[in-house]
Every structure is written in structure tokens, then in C-alpha cells.
Amino acid sequence: MATIQETMTLDEFLSLPEEKPALEYEYGRVTQKVPPDILHSHLQPTLAVLFNQYGGRERRIVVFTEARWNLPHFSRVPDVVVYRRDRLPLDERGRLVHGAFTAPADVAVEIVSPGQTVAAQLRRCVEFVAAGVALALIVDPDDESVVVVRPDQTVRVTRGAERIDLDEVLPGFDLTAEQLFGTLSFA
């Protein structure tokens, strides 16, 4: 991530036009997300589809990619977020409202891209759970691992045929690291 400016308020940041890749804000510092590569660009919608399939026709959960989340001291754009249906910001007609999320996601996912480190993504995920996200995931295509970070600061690395345990939020969600990274193979 490249630092754009050191001294800016959140209100000043939120008045900036959106950019691609997205700008993010943390305690006065503005950075720009790393552009996604091919692996990232494949894994992001794949995860969204898998989460949406779990949600079923009754849409128990709703999945968003690149959705902004604003809190008083930061504005982040995780790669994928999952919200339980009863936690969505809805208008009087029951439709999603315009704008950014102000409540933490139930699940936030960061996918490691070239130029990013797992350590930096881990710091982000620890921040997410400290701010109220129920589960944060780091998806590392190079290592073919999925790291699950929980609010009690426990970190579990899942590889191969191990099931990615998200039962606190998505009971019975059945996906292994092997299945997820298998979607990258076209041989």
C-alpha cells in the first residue's frame, strides 16, 4: 500500500472521490490498496459465490465485495465481507441503504496479493476483530492457506483437506483450503 497523505481527518477523507484500487484511511493516514492480480481476482468472486450458496434462497447472509466500512478512526475496504441478514442496514422498504457500512461485518476476508505480506494482512485482521468483526480470514494463494482470526486473538491456519471452521457465524459452512485453492487449477 502506498501512503497518499499523512494528515487528514476522516471527514476530509470521506469527501474524496472513490478511486480504483480503493483508498483507505487509518488514524489520519491515507493509503491505496494494492491492485489485485489474477489469483486475487479469481478467489474474491469465488468466495462470494460460495458464501452466497451457503446463505441459500432465504439469504440468511449477504455477501459484499470491496464494500467500505467506516469507523471513527478508520475506513477500510476488505476484499469480501459477510453480514447476517438481520444486521444489514435497511430502509423502511427493507432495501439496502446507500453508503458505507458503519457496523462491523460478521466475516471479513483479505486475500494476499503480490506486494502484500501475510504479516500486514494479519495486522489488518486483528484490527478488524478488535473493532467487532466476528471472524477475519486471510487467504494466501501462494501458501494455499486460510488463516482464521477470532476476537480472542486465536489464529488458526488451515491447509489441505482441513475444513475452514467458521461455525460461530456460519454453522455448517463446508469448505476446505484444498477445495478453495483447487478452483485455481484448470489442468
Per-residue pLDDT tens over the stretch 21-55: 999 999 899 999 999 999 999 999 999 999 999 99
Give per-residue pLDDT as tens, 106-164. 999 999 998 899 999 999 999 999 999 999 999 999 999 999 999 998 999 999 999 99
Determine, yes or no, domain membership for 14.
no
Domains held by the chain: number: 1
Determine, yes or no, domain membership for 23.
no
Determine, yes or no, domain membership for 69.
yes
Determine, yes or no, domain membership for 119.
yes
Determine, yes or no, domain membership for 48.
yes
Determine, yes or no, domain membership for 13.
no
Give per-residue pLDDT as tens, 78-88. 999 999 999 99
Please identify which residue in the block is written with the cell numbers 470491496: 66
Determine, yes or no, domain membership for 45.
yes
Query: Which grid coordinates are listed for 49?
Result: 459465490
Q: Residue 40 maps to which CATH number?
A: 3.90.1570.10
Determine, yes or no, domain membership for 106.
yes
Q: CB atoms < 10 A from the CB of 91, how many?
A: 9
CA distances from 137 to 14, 19, 72, 99, 181 (A): 26, 24, 23, 24, 14
Write out the residue range of the structural domain in which residue 109 sits.
Answer: 35-182
